[in-house]
Amino acid sequence: MFAVIKTGGKQYKVAQDSIIEIEKLEAEEGDVVSFEDVLMVGGDKPQIGTPLVSGTAVHGEVISQKRGEKVINFVKRRRKHGSQRRKGHRQYLTVVKITAIGGKAPAAKPKTAKADPEFKPAKKTVAKKAAETRAAAKPAAAKKPAAKKAPAKKAAAKKTEE
């Protein structure tokens, strides 16, 4: 059984246990996502939506968040101008494993130490550790003393003249 879903302005043909890379979704690793925009469900009795198949959803689990390959846009104006421009882009992507086509969404996996005894929190990166140690090592900034006012020369000159 397969389905055609629409997400991120694109259409994807998916089957159960297939892994797809789609435009970024606001979800964390291990979250269950469901795609309501099902355009077609294939198999023994295919259903084609007009434009969507009603009452059907495709469910999946977020495996990871990543960035795609760099796409380079190179523009060159020929002849008299001699200008060139090079611009790169890396798209944010979400990797999703399709768990079910139709029916209810499967329950989300536990993500806490209380619910899952094998839970290990993500390790901090070296850059984050270094930033934390620098912030802890910095002394509090001392206030600068106020600028001293110079004695008025004109007032002193007037007193001596009198």
53: nearest Cα among 73, 35, 37, 32? 37
Cα distance between residue 90 and residue 83, in whole Å: 24
DSSP 23-43: E--S--TT-EEEE--EEEEES
pLDDT < 50: residue spans in the chain: 111-115
End-to-end CA distance of the chain: 109
pLDDT for res 81: 77
pTM: 0.60
pLDDT for res 17: 93
pLDDT for res 79: 81
pLDDT for res 152: 59
Cα distance between residue 40 and residue 6, in whole Å: 10
